A = this chain, B = another copy of it.
């Protein structure tokens, strides 16, 4: 291996200390003391390298290593360093450390490449503080407006604009964070898998072909809150009964697609929600993900048809479907995927071509660049919790794969 396991381990351990909830997993929200601490550590490390350090108007920290070829587009590498509330030490930072360690290794080995390499450390990917995620990449893709910064507020009512300004950035200049697609040769991210697949298949790395499309749908089944004892079964408009019949079939719809499509009903709320009152309204969420947008459409239609069939003969029953999120699948660059495969083989890394079931900055960056995404195994598939863990050796293998791919893309001179 060219990269250094001790440095990787030390980086993870140090970043883990910049944490607002030390006893309860890692909480590192954007524009906080912990955010500042990470920046300062990264800047100190980057200062030791042959790079130009800067921050863009969305507060993303970047560091550019010049190429020998003059004004050529950059190979961007990195991820995010914010976290969810009470999350873990790897979701985000693993990819930041990948970028840092690759820059170190390039310098250490006196590698000259035609193309520049840019270290990228983004924030608010999780939306943990202000609710709207993949912020840094959306800003680079020109998708964030000043109005959004005014609108998105944290628990204490502080807007993102206020927080940015307090932190030393000018929210009115947010649109200047937009990158010209012609200036980006590639964006490569490393992230923990956040699922059990690599571990269960005993693979070193995951090479992502698609980031799934995601639909979030809120369904409300509306019935009538009757007395649980005095209302005969045939005179009820029992919304929970209908909701259960619908939810109980959804898993089979995903399995039938036979392409890795997943569906989840994670939240069900009954109103009024008393033991002895027939549920008047039931609200439930549907999270539907697939690399095939057609699969998402088909399952939505089946759910709608079930709701229709189950409510149409009872005038006390109705339903409402609200589409909360509709993101199309994003295909990763076939060229970069091919390089990942080649370098995995030549470095004896076992790999799995897989779909990313979670959204990542790479998904957004796909709008303006060729993107590649590498997963490293998550112990027990856990993430967004204190137990989140990736063995340092596994993390290094993912970094190594990207290192070799950067050498290919960068055209070593």
User: A interface vs B, CB < 8 Å?
Assistant: 193-197, 200, 212, 214, 216, 226-235, 238, 240-241, 243-248, 250-251, 254-255, 260-270, 272-279, 282, 285, 287, 289, 324, 356-359, 381, 383-384
Nearest CB in chain B: distance from A334 CB, A: 22
CB distance from A323 to the nearest CB of B (A): 13
Q: Are A248 and B251 in contact (CB under 8 A)?
A: no
Q: Is the CB of A229 within 8 A of B244?
A: no
Contact of A264 with B228 at beta-carbon distance under 8 Å, contacts A251-B241, A381-B235 already known: yes
User: In whole angstroms, what is the CA distance A255 to B234 when docked?
Assistant: 9
Task: Say whether A265 contacts B240, CB under 8 Å.
Answer: yes
Taking CB atoms, residues of chain B closer than 8 Å to A268 are 240, 268-270, 279, 282
A266 to B228, CA, bound (A): 8
Given contacts A227-B195, A244-B244, A248-B245, A232 and B275 within 8 Å (CB-CB): no
A275 to B284, CA, bound (A): 9
User: In the complex, A52 Cα to B261 Cα: how many Å?
Assistant: 76
Q: How far is the CA of A324 from the CA of B274 in the complex (A)?
A: 14
Shortest Cβ gap from A209 to chain B (Å): 15
Contact B197–A232 (Cβ < 8 Å)? yes
Is A196 within 8 A of B235, CB to CB?
A: yes
A265 touching B289 by the CB < 8 A rule? no
26 residue pairs from A and B, CB less than 8 Å apart: A194-B227, A197-B232, A214-B229, A227-B358, A227-B381, A228-B287, A228-B289, A229-B287, A229-B359, A230-B356, A230-B357, A230-B383, A233-B251, A233-B262, A235-B381, A240-B265, A241-B247, A241-B248, A241-B265, A243-B244, A245-B248, A266-B274, A266-B278, A267-B279, A269-B270, A269-B273
New A-B pairs, 5, CB < 8 Å, besides A229-B262, A240-B266, A267-B273: A228-B264, A228-B357, A233-B251, A233-B263, A240-B268
Q: How far is the CB of A235 from chain B (nearest CB, A)?
A: 5
Q: Are B195 and A231 in contact (CB under 8 A)?
A: yes
Q: Looking at the complex, which one of B233, B261, B262, B265 makes contact with A254 (CB distance below 8 Å)?
A: B233
Question: What is the minimal beta-carbon distance from A174 to any residue of chain B, in angstroms?
Answer: 26
A211 nearest CB neighbor, chain B only:
B229
Measured CB to CB, the closest approach of chain B to A387, in angstroms, equals 11
Bound: A357/B267 CA distance, A? 31
Measured CB to CB, the nearest residue on chain B to A264 is B228
